[in-house]
Chain A
Amino acid sequence: MDDRPLITTHDLVKQYPAGGGFFTALNKVNLSIQRGEFTGIVGPSGSGKTTLLNIIGALDYPSSGSTLVIGTDTQELDHRMSARLRNEHIGFIFQTYNLLPVYNVYENVEFPLLLLGMNADERDRAVMQALEWVGLTDKVRSRPNQLSGGESQRVAVARAMVKKPELVLADEPTANLDAENSHNILRMMVRFNEELRTTFVFATHDEKVIAYIRRKITLNDGMVVEDRETKPAIH
């Protein structure tokens, strides 16, 4: 088993041009996240959580510093290779679900598998299993606009989990959900983490999420101000 960290960042800096100068969104972030962690990046609004998550997911590039994700330096990836990294190893979950509205539940979950070039039988099995995990086997043919917020986010979870990725990056996954749905989703994630050893990294300031995480990395003005283990309040 590979016991190198799943994610390593080294002196990560992200600057945005702002009014002639620069605005520093991330300031020398050094982190190391192991396989199987259940980690939350917390901090006030504008502290750089989303920026950090996007860089880890190779959706964005740092201004300086480097990121190693699953053994690859994301800065050395071209468009195609970063797409492949995401497709094969990373699942994304967003605050606004971001399902593709023209496709039904089944097709939304199937999409990443199509990109992987999986054959139809395998796809069908994987999609149905993922929908079973999130308890949506009865909504297979529904379109996103026919789903509640909680159901939509469960589809998004199924879409992220269907390929059994090593890493799931979840940006404020509960921000649009009520307490019951939030706990529901989080319990599923804990289960994936335990049963499939999927590594979860959250960007959040939701206390409900913080109650589940086992490590809390606090950002403020783009800097890591605290990084400590926490005892999950809920299992």
Chain B
Amino acid sequence: MIRFLLKGLIRDRNRSLFPVIVVAIGVTLSILMYTFMFGFLDETVRSSAKLNTGHVKIMTKGYYEIQRQLPNDLSIDDAGTLIGELRQDYPEMEWVPRIKFGGLLDLPDEEGETRSQGPALGFAVDLLGTNSRERTRLNLKGGLVRGRLPLARGEILVSEGFAQRLEAGIGDTATLISSTKYGSIAVQNFVIVGTVTFGIGPLDRNSVIADIEDMRYTLDMSDGASEILGFFPNEVYDEAAADNIARAFNTVSAGTDDDFSLVMLPLREQNGLGEFLDMARFRLSIILFIFFLVMSIVLWNAGLMSGIRRYGEIGVRLAIGESKGQVYTSMLYESLIVGTVGFIIGSSVGLGVSFYLQEVGLDISGMVRGSSVLISNVIRAQVTPSSYFIGLIPGLVATFLGSAISGIAIFKRQTAQLFKELES
């Protein structure tokens, strides 16, 4: 009997192929929507963490209060010792010093006269250390547009956009004019060895990346750092752990309260990222909810329609001697089969595309040129464990409920009535 019904199901494309396609498409779209949204959030957190906030960040209190001004006069003095201590206390984490600096980048001509110049926003990171993971963290190789990465002191990268505006070529010498930790003017020549793109609008406009030792020297910061960033293993942000580490760190240093006492902030508490994330999650869950609702209604309706279309066939089966319960059960089984097959196909396609977008990403910089929002121009999906199951809601649950509800009509209607619909 089951084989008989399966045969009918497979032969009737209106009952098998088309519903499966509809369900599969619905599930695929739902999963893509879902993983994209997670990808978007994750990408925001990731790019913010590696460029700016770390998973936790240590600054002096004085620096923290006016950090937008890049006040390196309030920077951390003995970064080496501090990092040594942090490594002991939190061995699983990676601690890296960074210097952020502002200044003017000047390109001289052969006579030493200014050919072009522009304000620069600088990041100094450990570019040359043999064990440094900063190059990979910032994906400098991936972001390289022209030239190569710095291999020696005195070499810098500039953002491609900046290089174009300054009409700077690879190998050109540029003069950085800034101010030292102690307020006097700092002038230092660098060789531009490469250009990079950040995939983030504002940073592409005027960024400079230098080696931290170069900048310590230039800015007279000896073993100093503007900030020390802490990263969890594999660059995966753990909100709760970050909060705990920051709380513990801040309790210890709470006693001192001068400008140079240290403060640690988890990612969430920096640059309004917490509010941003909460807001984004809230909005995304509303969008997701609406999307899932619509998707479910569509699939539910598909289940409903196919049930109604079959009143005639059902009438015959009842006349031949199948009971209403048997017919109903077989309809539910059918919808389970259709839902499951659609769910599997849809999930495979959806997850497949999601995985691809997780690894490769979708470059939308063409669509958002000139934006000043701090959002990556590469959209990525993120496959979370729940992505494997999320398709069950529109795929299986909605399809099943559609059939279940349309099937109730079988019981409600008089059998003879099912016939009339068949004969007309």
Please list the residues of chain A having a beta carbon within 8 angstroms of any beta carbon in chain B.
51, 54, 57, 59-61, 79-80, 82-84, 86-88, 90, 92, 94-96, 98-103, 107, 110-112, 114-116, 159
B321 and A83 contact, CB distance less than 8 A: yes
CB within 8 Å for A100 and B414 given contacts A83-B324, A92-B319: no
Nearest-neighbour CB distance to chain B for A132, whole angstroms, equals 21
Distance between Cα atoms of A114 and B3 in the complex (Å):
10
Residues of A within 8 A of B321 (CB): 83-84, 86-88, 90, 112, 115-116
CB within 8 Å for A100 and B419 given contacts A57-B319, A114-B4: no
With A82-B323, A99-B316 already in contact, 14 other A-B pairs whose C-beta atoms are closer than 8 Å = A54-B419, A59-B416, A59-B419, A60-B414, A79-B325, A83-B318, A83-B322, A86-B320, A94-B319, A98-B312, A100-B8, A102-B8, A103-B7, A116-B321
29 cross-chain CB contacts under 8 A? A54-B415, A54-B416, A59-B318, A59-B319, A59-B414, A79-B324, A83-B321, A83-B322, A86-B319, A87-B320, A87-B321, A87-B322, A94-B319, A94-B419, A96-B422, A96-B423, A98-B422, A99-B316, A100-B8, A100-B313, A100-B316, A103-B8, A103-B11, A107-B4, A107-B7, A111-B320, A115-B322, A116-B321, A159-B320
Please list the residues of chain B having a beta carbon within 8 angstroms of any beta carbon in chain A.
1, 4, 7-8, 11-12, 312-313, 315-326, 411, 414-416, 419, 422-423
Q: Which of B315, B322, B414 has the most CB of A within 10 A?
A: B322
Residues of A within 8 A of B317 (CB): 100, 111
Residues of A within 8 A of B312 (CB): 98
Q: Is the interface of A mostly helix, strand, loop or mixed?
A: helix
Nearest-neighbour CB distance to chain A for B324, whole angstroms, equals 4
Q: Is the interface of B mostly helix, strand, loop or mixed?
A: helix
Nearest-neighbour CB distance to chain A for B420, whole angstroms, equals 9
Residues of B within 8 A of A84 (CB): 321, 323
Q: What is the chain B residue whose CB lies nearest that of A159?
A: B320
Nearest-neighbour CB distance to chain A for B198, whole angstroms, equals 59
Distance between Cα atoms of A112 and B320 in the complex (Å):
6
A98 and B1 contact, CB distance less than 8 A: no
Distance between Cα atoms of A156 and B414 in the complex (Å):
23
CB within 8 Å for A114 and B323 given contacts A61-B414, A96-B423, A100-B316: no
Q: Which of B315, B317, B323, B325 has the most CB of A within 10 A?
A: B323
Residues of B within 8 A of A90 (CB): 321
Q: What is the chain A residue whose CB lies nearest that of B319?
A: A92
Nearest-neighbour CB distance to chain A for B189, whole angstroms, equals 82
Residues of A within 8 A of B7 (CB): 102-103, 107
B325 and A80 contact, CB distance less than 8 A: yes
Distance between Cα atoms of A159 and B423 in the complex (Å):
18
Q: Which of B7, B321, B411 has the most CB of A within 10 A?
A: B321
CB within 8 Å for A79 and B411 given contacts A86-B321, A107-B4: yes
Contact pick for A95, options B318, B411, B423, CB 8 Å? B423
B422 and A83 contact, CB distance less than 8 A: no
Residues of B within 8 A of A112 (CB): 320-321
Nearest-neighbour CB distance to chain B for A95, whole angstroms, equals 7
